[in-house]
């Protein structure tokens, strides 16, 4: 199922308003190219982002892929609104359970 028009508006808001200073010049890209169901954009390689990445990721343990983990101090790092944005950006809802993409 293709994403609704307001989804790309939200992605563009994140890319060009919220995260503009830390993003590369690459525009958001849909996947798959025909009837996209998800979008991605790239951020720069910055030391502050590397620190955040290390808080939320463990060493690759399966097929060389990073595994997400919740830091012990999640309550200090995320507000309820931050949690909602994280779920909208990287999560999904399946049979009453919130999950996150690999």
Average pLDDT on 10-38 reads 91
Q: Which two tokens stand for residue 91?
A: 């999560």
- Asked whether residue 31 carries a pLDDT value surpassing 60, the answer given is yes
Per-residue pLDDT at 50: 85
Per-residue pLDDT at 62: 67
Q: Quick: pLDDT tens for 39-97.
A: 889 999 999 888 887 887 766 666 777 677 778 888 888 899 888 888 877 777 788 88
> CA nearest 26: which of 40, 38, 47, 9?
40
Domain ranges of the chain: 1-44, 47-102
Q: Are 70 and 87 spatial neighbours (Cβ–Cβ below 8 Å)?
A: no
- Asked whether residue 1 carries a pLDDT value surpassing 60, the answer given is no
Q: Which two tokens stand for residue 81?
A: 């609104």
pTM, two decimals, is 0.65
Q: Which two tokens stand for residue 55?
A: 């808080």
């Amino acid at each position: 199922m293709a994403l609704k028009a307001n989804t790309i508006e939200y992605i563009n808001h994140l890319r060009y308003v919220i995260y503009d200073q830390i993003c590369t010049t690459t525009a958001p890209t849909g996947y798959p190219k025909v009837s996209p169901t998800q979008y991605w954009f790239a951020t720069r390689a910055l030391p502050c982002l590397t620190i955040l990445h290390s808080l939320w990721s463990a060493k690759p343990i399966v097929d060389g892929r990073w595994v997400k983990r919740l830091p012990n101090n999640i309550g200090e790092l995320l507000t309820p609104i931050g949690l909602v944005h994280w779920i909208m950006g990287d999560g999904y809802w399946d049979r009453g359970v919130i999950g996150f993409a690999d």
